[in-house]
Amino acid sequence: MTESLEGRIQRLLDRDEELLASPWELFDDVRSASDPAYYSEAMGAWVITGYQLLREVVLDPETWSNRSPTATYEFRNPVADHASAIEQEPGMAEAVRRFRNRSRGRVLNTADPPEHVRQRRALNRAFRPSRLRALEPEVKSVSDQLIAKFLPRGRADLVQEYAVLFPMVMISRMLGVPEEELEMFKGWSDDFAIPIGRARPSRDEVRSYIKSEYEFDEYFTALVEQRQAEPRDDLISDVANAEVDGEPLTYEERMGALRQFLLAGNETTTTLLSNIGHRLATNHELRDRLASNRDLVPAFVEEALRHEGPVTGLYRVATRDTQLGGKPVAKGEFAWLAFAAANRDPEACPVPQVFDIDRESNDHVAFGYGEHYCIGQGLARLEGKVGTNAMLDLPNLALADDHTYNYMDSFILRGLTQLLVTFDPDNSGADGWNMDK
């Protein structure tokens, strides 16, 4: 007997390994059953897998609000229960109190117009093209340094030794925090990801999450104050001094923006780089073609973003009674925008399952669309291009025989947790490494 769509969606929510590895057939089946929208009881949301409909929803923020959870209610309720118990633990009362207050803040990805428009006007310049252009040599040098560590070995885990660290180091540098504090950053970033696409967290996880939020606030409050007094050319200074029409952002807005800058770019860019590494290590014909024609790298990165979008899907909530493709939707109902699925809609992209860098056009929505369009896309694309070139420089890059496939424990973000590869080792030291590539 074939399994129902709802059964399969439930398995995705339960993070069934087979579906985390390949949700594509399920998304195709949801799209076929959609006409054009499909309500999933299991998800408690309309699941939007069609490209056109997704774009219509994101372009109507008045009706479809971003004040929706990235985490499900299944997750939120246990967090609230655990928080009450954790509040009684020694030294945790203040952290829990602040945690509760903070959840009310609406910033960037959880804000709607007009606040959101104001925030974007104040913060867009933090990732301005001229800053990214100036950053390029540093991006290359960070990538080179990471690769130099495993280059003589002829073997690496490209996820843990490269793709995880690269965006983390870059965002810390852009923020302007010392490198020694990277471990602490990584701990926070991992903890902030706990609620994303998970259900039923343990009390230990919730404690760790609340503690990290508290430590993050303490740390950045001090830095923001310092940069207000003495601005530098870094992201913290931009956020600390951001204003619109002479009005500064609020404390909550500044902290929320910094938290999103730290979190939103890490696992997503890690996934992009891992997917790129996997593609190059398994498709040697494409690898060699790119290696001998580097002009094709940007199109390759765009196709990697389209073909396996790092963000599987995010929620919106209806602010009023409305309709989706003619089907009635009541105020308060949720929609799950499956960005990664929309990129494989055959109506928008011919033969979408094929990875093809020679496509005539590639208007993917891996970075979203409309007013919440990813603020860090320029940085992510730059890291994607630099990362691709660096991996192409690993001679004979191939998947290691002992590689096994494991995916992140989330239905919101999809990516490998390890990528074991081999290549021809280079024992010639730093001189043998071409820093100009």
Q: Which residues bind ligand HEM (CB under 6 A)?
A: 58, 66, 108-109, 120, 171, 260-261, 264-265, 268-269, 272, 310-311, 314, 339, 366-368, 372, 374-376, 379-380
CB of 95 to ligand HEM, least distance (A): 24
What is the spatial distance between Cα 17 and Cα 190, in angstroms, rounded to a whole number?
A: 20
What is the spatial distance between Cα 322 and Cα 325, in angstroms, rounded to a whole number?
A: 10
Tokens of 157: 């885990």
Decide whether 201 or 368 has the Cβ nearer to ligand HEM. Answer: 368
CB of 236 to ligand HEM, least distance (A): 13
Tally of CB atoms within 10 A around 435 = 12
Decide whether 281 or 305 has the Cβ nearer to ligand HEM. Answer: 305
CB of 414 to ligand HEM, least distance (A): 10
Decide whether 95 or 264 has the Cβ nearer to ligand HEM. Answer: 264
Strands 64-65 and 314-318: antiparallel
Of 84, 85, 80, 94, give the one whose Cα is nearest residue 218. 94
The packing angle between helices 266-282 and 165-175, to 10°, is: 140
CB of 269 to ligand HEM, least distance (A): 4
Give the full edge-to-edge strand order of the sheet including 314-318.
38-40, 45-48, 334-337, 314-318, 64-65
Evaluate the CA torsion angle 338, 167, 15, 75 in order and state its sign: negative
Decide whether 132 or 199 has the Cβ nearer to ligand HEM. Answer: 132
> Which residue is nearest to ligand HEM, using beta carbons?
376
Decide whether 58 or 357 has the Cβ nearer to ligand HEM. Answer: 58
CB of 42 to ligand HEM, least distance (A): 22
Q: Specify the long-range contacts of residues 284-290, CB closer than 8 Å, at least 24 apart.
A: 284/398, 286/355, 286/357, 287/392, 287/397, 290/388, 290/392
Decide whether 96 or 345 has the Cβ nearer to ligand HEM. Answer: 345
Decide whether 227 or 385 has the Cβ nearer to ligand HEM. Answer: 385
